Structure 1
Amino acid sequence: MSDKRDLLILGGGLVGMTLALAAAKKGLSSQVVDRADPAELTAEGFDGRASAISTASWNLFGNIGLRARLEPHGCPIASIAVTDGMKPGRIDFQPEPHEGSLGRMFANRELRLALFEAASAEPLIAWHARADVVERERGEHGVSATLADGTVLEANLMVGAEGRQSPTREDAGITMAHWDYSHRAIIAGLVHARPHDNVAWEIFYPAGPFALLPLLDGPGGEHRSALVWTVAEKDAAGVMALSDRAFTAEVAKRMHGIFGEVSVEGKCSSFPLSFQHTANIVEHRLALVGDAAHGIHPIAGQGLNLGLRDVGALVEVLADGMRLGLEPGDAQLLARYEKWRELDSFTVSLATDGLTWLFGVPGKLPSAIRRLGMGVVQRTPPLKRWFMDEARGMSGELPELLKG
Structure 2
Amino acid sequence: MDNPRRGRILRGMDFNTDIAIVGGGLNGAALALGLAQLGLRITIIDASPQAVARDAGFDGRSYAIALTSGRLLQGLGLWDALEADAQPMLDIKVTDGRAGDGPSPFFMHFDHTEIDEGPLGHLIEDRHLRAALAHAVADNPQISLHSGARVTGQVSGADGVTLHLDDGATLRARLCVGADGRGSGVAQRAGIRRIGWRYGQTALVCAIAHELPHEGVAHQFFMPPGPLAILPLTGNRSSIVWSETDAQAAAINALDDDAYLDVLRPRFGDFLGEISLAGARYTYPLSLSLTHSMIAPRVALVGDAAHGVHPIAGQGLNAGLRDIAALCEVIADATRRGEDFAAPQVLERYQDWRRFDNATLALATDTFNRMFSNDNPLIRAARDIGMGAINALPGLRRGFMREAAGLTGELPRLLRGQPL
Structure 1 length normalisation: TM-score? Answer: 0.96
Q: Give the structure 2 partner of residue 99 of structure 1.
A: 117
Q: Output the CA distance in 2 between the equivalents of 1:302 and 1:251.
A: 24
One-letter amino acid of the structure 2 residue matched with residue 256 of structure 1: G
Offset at 1:44?
A: 5.1
Q: Secondary structure at the match of 2:288?
A: strand
Residue 220 (structure 1) aligns with: none
Number of aligned positions between the proteins: 399
1:291 equivalenced with 2:291 (yes/no): no
2:106 maps to which of 83, 89, 93: 89
**Aligned counterpart, 1:343:** 356
2:335 aligned with 1:322, yes or no? yes
Deviations 1:221-260 (A, max 9, x none): xx10000000111222211111111111111110121211
Aligned in 2, Cα 1:44/1:286: closer, same or farther, shift over 3 Å? closer
Are 1:2 and 2:2 matched, yes or no? no
Paired residue for 1:187?
A: 205
Worse-matched range after superposition: 255-264 or 2-11: 2-11
Partner AA of 2:67 in structure 1? T
Q: Which moved more, 1:59-68 or 1:289-298?
A: 59-68
- Quote the Cα distance in structure 1 between the aligned partners of 2:246 and 2:292: 27
Shift of 1:368: 2.2
Give the whole-Å Cα distance in 1 for the aligned partners of 2:218 and 2:135. Answer: 29
Name the counterpart of 1:122: 140
Alpha-carbon separation, structure 1, partners of 2:342 and 2:198 = 34
How many angstroms does 1:39 deviate by? 2.4
Mapping of 1:148-167 within 5 angstroms? Answer: 148-167=166-185
Matches within 5 A, 1:213-232: 213-217=231-235, 223-232=236-245
Equivalent residue runs for 1:314-393 within 5 Å: 314-393=327-406
**Deviation of the 1:349 alpha carbon:** 1.1
Any conservation in 1 of the 2:89–2:121 contact (CA below 8 Å)?
yes
CA drift of 1:47 comes to: 2.0
Cα drift, residue 99 of structure 1: 2.5
- The structure 2 residue matched to 1:134, chosen from 134, 152, 159, is 152
Shift of 1:397: 0.3
Distance between the aligned counterparts of 1:31 and 1:346, measured in 2?
Answer: 29
Contact 2:54/2:135 (<8 A) preserved: no
TM-superposition CA deviations, 1:129-165 (whole Å, max 9, x none) = 2112121121112112122221111210010100111
Q: Which residue of 2 aligns with 1:55?
A: 67
TM-score using structure 2 length: 0.93
Q: Is the 8 A contact 1:7 1:328 kept in 2?
A: no
Shift of 1:176: 1.1
State yes or no: 1:16 paired with 2:34: no
Q: Partner of 1:349: helix, strand, or coil?
A: helix
Give the partner amino acid of 2:391: Q
Offset from partner CA, 1:166-201 (integer Å, 9 cap, x none): 111111121211111011111101111111110000
Contact 2:54–2:134 (8 Å) recurs in 1: no
- What is the distance in 2 between the residues matched to 1:134 and 1:44? 27
Contact 1:24 1:124 in 2 (8 A): yes
- Of all paired residues, the percent bearing the same amino acid is 42
In the TM superposition, 1:178-257 aligns within 5 A as 178-217=196-235, 223-257=236-270
Structure 2 unaligned regions, length at least 5: 8-15, 98-102
Q: Is the 8 A contact 2:53 2:134 kept in 1?
A: no
What is the alpha-carbon distance in structure 1 between the residues aligned to residue 33 and residue 161 of structure 2? 20
2 CA distance for matches of 1:207 and 1:338? 35
State the shift of 1:40 in Å. Answer: 2.7
d(CA) in 2 for partners of 1:248, 1:45: 22
- Answer with 320-329 or 97-106: which moved more: 97-106
109-118 or 141-150: bigger deviation? 141-150
Q: Is the 8 A contact 1:285 1:330 kept in 2?
A: yes
Q: Secondary structure at the match of 2:363?
A: helix
Which stretches in structure 1 are left out of the alignment for 5+ residues?
Answer: 218-222
| From 294, 315, 336, the counterpart of 1:302 | 315
C-alpha RMSD of matched pairs (Å): 1.3
**Deviation at 1:42?**
4.3
1:266 CA drift (Å)? 2.1
1:271-310 CA-to-partner distances (Å, cap 9, x unmatched) read 1110111111001000000000000000000000000000
Classify the secondary structure of the residue corresponding to 2:133: helix
Q: Name the CA distance, whole Å, in 2 between partners of 1:236 and 1:93.
A: 30
Moved more, 79-88 or 301-310: 79-88
1:80 maps to which of 84, 87, 92: 92
